[in-house]
């Protein structure tokens, strides 16, 4: 794709393929390199293939076979905001074979999070650096405008910081992240600008039986379901002792239930009693 121009939008932390087709130059002597703003990213041909120190560990070079075939695309991994730029695949130091505008974008982040009390939650904060590298990064969090004593964990890219908490109900609120990339900088809001955290109160489970536990009659008697079970037993006794062709009314139901509760035998030769 001689002279081709491409644009690639990729989420922070993901990978992108920078495409370069040199098949028309296959077998010719000359150097091949990827550059950004005049600085080498990787050298593919003309000397020992290598990745520049500032990109080491994040750029994957083509295989030897791919290089011979003129497939000079590279894979750019673990992208940072500061990687946003124009990248060029250059033949013999003078001819641009392809250009790729790489735009590193903020990944999707939930602006409202609801969790149960005592459940671990991580609140993300992304810090967009300028293209000028800086080893300095200061990050802090606030809740409802008040500075939090907790510190967050700064990632290896030094462009993200996650706040990990095991919250209580009173930890609910509006969380905001702030950062500086130079000591003299004015504090900038992180991305997202805020996250609303809602913490739900834990529901006591002392009186809830495990579905896998076997329950006894004593278990049920001790619970508020006893009246319901008792009524079920009365109904079962009544239905099992009446003849199928006997019609039951409200008048004969109540005395029979009463006598059943007093211990009337309903098994064996005892005949059902019907009040008239």
Instruction: For domain 4-105, say whether CATH 2.60.40.10 is its number.
Output: yes
pLDDT of 213 reads: 57
Please tell me which residue, 202 or 15, carries the higher pLDDT value. 15
Tokens of 243: 């003849």
pLDDT of 273 reads: 44
Two domains, one topology: 4-105 and 112-200: yes
Element of type H or E holding 198? strand 195-200
**% of the chain beyond a pLDDT of 70:** 71
Strand partners, 60: 75
Domain boundaries, given as residue ranges, for the chain = 4-105, 112-200, 209-276
Interatomic CA distance for residues 172 and 252, integer angstroms: 60
33 and 20 Cβ atoms separated by less than 8 Å: no
Say whether pLDDT at 241 is over 50: no
105: helix, strand or coil: strand
What is the dihedral sign for C-alpha 28, 30, 36, 38? negative
pLDDT tens-digit series, residues 129-178: 765 556 788 999 999 999 999 888 888 888 999 999 999 999 999 999 99
139 and 189 Cβ atoms separated by less than 8 Å: no
Element of type H or E holding 177? strand 173-180
Average pLDDT score over residue span 18-47: 92
Interatomic CA distance for residues 25 and 56, integer angstroms: 27
Of 27-41, 125-139, 254-268, least confident by mean pLDDT is 254-268
pLDDT band at 44 (very low <50, low <70, confident <90, very high): very high
Say whether pLDDT at 227 is over 50: no
pLDDT of 2 reads: 43
User: How high does pLDDT run on average in the chain?
Assistant: 79
Say whether pLDDT at 102 is over 80: yes
Instruction: For domain 112-200, say whether CATH 1.10.3720.10 is its number.
Output: no
pTM of the model: 0.65
pLDDT of 137 reads: 86
Tokens of 78: 């673990």
Average pLDDT score over residue span 192-207: 87
Average pLDDT score over residue span 94-116: 94
For the residues of 114-161, what is the DSSP string, one character each?
EEETT--EEE--B----SS--S--EEEEEETTEEPS--PEEPTTSSBE
Give me the phi and psi of 150, to 5 degrees please: -70, 145
> How many beta carbons lie within 10 A of that of residue 40, not counting itself?
16
Helix 250-261 to helix 226-241 angle (10° resolution) is 110
pLDDT band at 19 (very low <50, low <70, confident <90, very high): very high
Q: Which residue has the tokens 């500075």?
A: 147
């Amino acid at each position: 794709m001689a002279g081709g121009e491409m644009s690639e939008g990729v989420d922070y932390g993901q990978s992108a393929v920078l495409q370069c087709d040199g098949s028309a130059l296959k077998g010719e002597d000359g150097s091949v390199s990827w550059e950004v703003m005049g600085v080498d990213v990787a050298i593919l041909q003309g000397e020992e293939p290598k990745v520049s120190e500032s990109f080491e560990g994040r750029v994957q070079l083509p295989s030897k076979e791919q290089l011979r075939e003129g497939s000079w695309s590279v894979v750019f991994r673990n992208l940072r905001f500061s990687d946003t730029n124009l990248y060029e695949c250059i033949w013999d130091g003078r001819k641009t074979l392809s250009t790729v505008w790489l735009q590193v974008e903020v990944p999707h982040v939930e602006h409202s999070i609801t969790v149960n009390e005592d459940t671990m939650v991580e609140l993300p904060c992304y810090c967009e650096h300028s293209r000028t590298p800086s080893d300095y990064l200061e990050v802090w969090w606030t809740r409802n405008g008040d500075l939090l004593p907790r510190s967050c964990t700064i990632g290896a890219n030094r462009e993200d910081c996650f706040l990990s908490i095991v919250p209580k109900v009173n930890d609910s609120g509006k969380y905001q992240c702030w950062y500086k990339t130079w000591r003299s900088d004015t504090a900038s809001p992180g991305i997202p600008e805020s996250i609303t955290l809602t913490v739900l109160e834990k529901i006591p489970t002392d009186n809830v039986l495990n579905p896998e536990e076997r329950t006894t009659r004593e278990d049920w008697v001790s619970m508020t379901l006893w009246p319901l079970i008792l009524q079920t037993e009365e109904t079962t006794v009544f239905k099992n002792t009446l003849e199928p062709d006997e019609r039951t009314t409200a008048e004969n139901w109540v005395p029979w239930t009463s006598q059943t509760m007093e211990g009337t035998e309903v098994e064996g030769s005892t005949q059902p009693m019907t009040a008239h």
